Amino acid sequence: MRYRMHVILLSLCLIKVAWPLPQGAPTTACQSMVPFHGGIQPQAGISPYTVAPRREGNKVVVTLTSGLGVPFQGFLLQGRTPDGAILGEFDSSTINEGHPLDCAEPADSITHNSPNDKSSINVVWTPPREYEGPVIFNATIAQAYDTFWVGIESNLVPITKRGANDPTFNFPTEPSSRTPPNFVPYQPKQSSTEFDPFYDGCAVNKLCFGAPADCVSSKSCKAVVGVIVTGDRYDFELKADSNAAWVGVGLSDDDKMGDDSVIECVKRGNGVAAYMSYTTAPNYGAPRLANPQLGIQLLNSSLVDGTIYCKVRRDVSTNVNGRFYDLVSGKYNLLIAAGSSVKPNSVSFHDIVYLASAEPQALADVSALAAKSKLLIRLHGCFMLAAWLGTASIGILLARYYRQTWVGHQMFGKDMWFAWHRTFMVLTWALTIVAFVLIFVELKAWSGENKPHAILGTVTTILCFIQPIGAYFRPHPGTPKRAIFNWLHWGIGNAAHIVAIVTLFFAVKLTKAELPEFVDWILVAYVVIHVISHLVLSVMNCVAERSGENRITSFPMKDLGGSGRTSAYTDRNPDAPFSTFRKFILAIYIVIVLIIVIALIVITALAPIEEAWSNLKSSVTNRN
Ligand code: HEM
Ligand SMILES: *[C@@H]1O[C@H](CO)[C@@H](O)[C@H](O)[C@H]1NC(C)=O
Ligand SMILES: *[C@@H]1O[C@H](CO)[C@@H](O)[C@H](O)[C@H]1NC(C)=O
């Protein structure tokens, strides 16, 4: 029995917590319109809701809605004279969501039936027979138990007296709403971002994190989040560049996208809406939760000159897709992102910026978050570019076509072509191994089964790794096994080079590489130059071989055995024919490859290059 009582009391308490007045406002709220929410203050900022009266025959239809799609749970609506007297009568028979309340006269107010989420309410109001003059519709709208706006007023609606023969009204035909009295427009300074109020208090009483890296100190973020913790309230402020359609902040267990709980603020109509979403594997997006308002309330928002700003309160603990997020005890990496377009039910790719903080951190710890350094990724990219477009290309070309050039000249006791080939290939090997180690240090893991860049890159590295081992144990020239070695060395070397070039094309598609798409065209240019050089040199070799058939010194083409072999040729110029032209081609090839490699290394090192470019431009214009 006692146990039963407890259960009943407990469930009553639970109802009370969820919504203290589940059946609507009491008559005690008639004048002030403030709901009794335990001393909780109404919201001070612009409300996301509108009160719009519309003429319909000789009645007024009042619509309560949010242009931003933010649902509401409770409301109290009245028609009033400009000096605050309640008048008229609501017809509640036409709606399910509300019931009348008798304040001064019967049914002169209307309030909600239940705390269910509502997206909009249309209710019919009739003026008193004798009234002539303006009327204002005044509403209190509650987004949630502790988030409500009081005194949301409509436009003035002029009412003419209803004579016996004159049942007409004088309404504006367009739905309209007056700006709430407490509306304070949010005005970021356009000309000088230095006074942007968003950054006030960063690292003092709020935790700020923005992209691109280090933008908080220069107040120049394209996307930025500020987390303000007061007691057990966690408020997230988000702001993005003027061309952004959305800005989001993710709470993550690591510094990568995937399995992160995201609060996103999205442009909607002339306002901003807030949603909860959850990131799937990297690059696969962030679908909204089944309940996109789970654990959040939009406290404040604005869209001024296209700049999204929002302030969202997030519950201290939430269970998102089976993961428990506790903002007090948990430590999270913050991911900040913004993009220029949205899909119907989620945001699109973060094409404007994306950045992860380096270390997980308690949100109440306001000290500035450092961005994850991109140094290792950049070094990985630059080393691989230098290795496979630069040293490998030149080294392979030398071994293939220049064995009969500079004949007789030696370096460290080796033929020229061999000494240089070996130098270039040792460089390629070293750069590749270092770059491979660097990316694993960076990722600390194998980055993905379905990632062509990672898979092909590993294949390249393995092929590259074994190549000098084989070369070290190569059989002596002239022995039968030498031919097998030659073919293997040639096959593996070329395979590694081709796979490497394909890997480079896939690198352009990696989000983290932040390479612009035109890099594809630079790579295509490289492939074209490379193929043309090979064709020209091959043709030249054929012609040279034919004309050299009657020379005393003929060279077995597939013999790579230049090592240790002292030249026995005594001719003054023992080179195969066209050697001057060959040297000329080599010079051109090296110059073009060098230009391509330097250009790509600059793009990779400064990635994202568009940003470096615009920073440069603005610093130049600032100086003028
Ligand atoms: C032929 C040249 C290249 C090779 C052989 C290569 C090799 C690899 C390998 C094996 C991985 C996987 C590491 C792992 O899963 O843990 C990887 C990842 C990566 N590489 Fe390369 N790479 C090359 C060029 C580049 C270039 C030019 C860039 C440009 C910056 C680049 C950027 C990246 C990035 C950002 C990742 C990490 C991808 C992720 O997080 O999933 N790579 N690379
Ligand atoms: C909403 O934003 C405006 C402008 O930044 C500010 O003046 C107002 O105090 C904010 N309201 C709340 C509840 O934070
Ligand atoms: C609407 O309600 C608010 C809050 O009670 C009040 O301050 C305001 O004067 C009201 N407007 C009218 C026209 O009564």
Identify whether the C-beta of residue 206 lies closer than 8 Å to the C-beta of residue 228. yes
pTM score of the predicted model: 0.50
Q: Residue 383 — φ and ψ, nearest 5°?
A: -65, -45
What is the model's pLDDT at position 308? 92
Ligand with an atom nearest the CA of residue 519: 1
Atom nearest to 185 CA in ligand 2 = 4
**Residues 475-488: pLDDT tens digits?**
777 777 888 888 88
For residue 333, the SS3 value is strand
Is a pLDDT exceeding 60 seen at residue 517?
yes
80 C-beta closer than 6 A to ligand 3: yes
**Residues 363-403: pLDDT tens digits?**
887 765 666 677 888 899 999 999 999 999 999 998 888 87
Atom 10 in ligand 2: which residue has the minimum CA distance? 45
What stretches of 4-95 adopt beta strand conformation (E)? 49-56, 59-66, 74-80, 86-87, 89-91
Ligand with an atom nearest the CA of residue 512: 1
Identify whether the C-beta of residue 452 lies closer than 8 Å to the C-beta of residue 501. no
- Structure-block tokens of residue 175: 């739905």
What is the model's pLDDT at position 441? 85
Q: What's the rounded mean pLDDT across residues 482-496?
A: 88
- From-to residues of CATH 1.20.120 in the chain: 375-613
311 C-beta closer than 6 A to ligand 2: yes
Asked which of 195-209, 227-241, 289-303, 595-609 is least confident by mean pLDDT, the reply is 195-209
Atom 31 in ligand 1: which residue has the minimum CA distance? 381
Going from the Cα of 485 to the center of ligand 1, the distance in angstroms, rounded, reads 30
Going from the Cα of 244 to the center of ligand 2, the distance in angstroms, rounded, reads 21
Going from the Cα of 326 to the center of ligand 2, the distance in angstroms, rounded, reads 26
Query: CATH homologous superfamily for 16-170?
Result: Reeler domain (2.60.40.4060)
Q: Which residues pair with 261 in a beta bridge?
A: 251, 278
- Domain 198-362, CATH: 2.60.40.1210
Asked which of 79-83, 100-104, 385-389 is least confident by mean pLDDT, the reply is 100-104
Q: Is 504 left (phi over 0), alpha (psi -120 to 50) or beta?
A: alpha
d(CA 268, CA 251): 24
- From-to residues of CATH 2.60.40.1210 in the chain: 198-362
What is the model's pLDDT at position 573? 53
For residue 566, the SS3 value is coil
Is a pLDDT exceeding 90 seen at residue 165?
no
What is the model's pLDDT at position 37? 67
Going from the Cα of 530 to the center of ligand 1, the distance in angstroms, rounded, reads 23
User: What pLDDT band is residue 162 in, cutting at 50, 70 and 90?
Assistant: low
Identify which of 583, 533, 543 has the alpha carbon closest to the alpha carbon of residue 407: 583
Give buried/exposed letters for 368-383 (b at 16+ CB in 10 A, else e).
ebebbebebbbbbbbb
Name the CATH topology of 375-613.
Answer: Four Helix Bundle (Hemerythrin (Met), subunit A) (1.20.120)
What is the model's pLDDT at position 195? 64
- From-to residues of CATH 2.60.40.4060 in the chain: 16-170
Going from the Cα of 30 to the center of ligand 2, the distance in angstroms, rounded, reads 27
Identify which of 175, 344, 154, 339 has the alpha carbon closest to the alpha carbon of residue 268: 344
Q: Residue 94 — φ and ψ, nearest 5°?
A: -90, -5
Q: Which helix (H) or strand (E) holds 525?
A: helix 519-547
The set of residues, in sequence order, having a beta carbon less than 8 Å from that of 51 and lying 6+ positions away, is: 62, 63, 64, 77, 137, 138, 139, 152, 153, 154, 177
What is the model's pLDDT at position 540? 84
Ligand with an atom nearest the CA of residue 152: 3
Q: At what angle do helices 452-472 and 480-508 cross, to 10 degrees?
A: 160
**Residues 521-536: pLDDT tens digits?**
999 999 999 999 999 9
Atom nearest to 81 CA in ligand 3 = 13
84 C-beta closer than 6 A to ligand 3: yes
Q: For 440, what's the count of Cα atoms within 13 Å in the CB-facing half-sphere?
A: 10
**Residues 132-155: pLDDT tens digits?**
888 899 999 988 777 788 888 888
- Structure-block tokens of residue 458: 């590993």
Q: What's the rounded mean pLDDT across residues 501-522?
A: 87
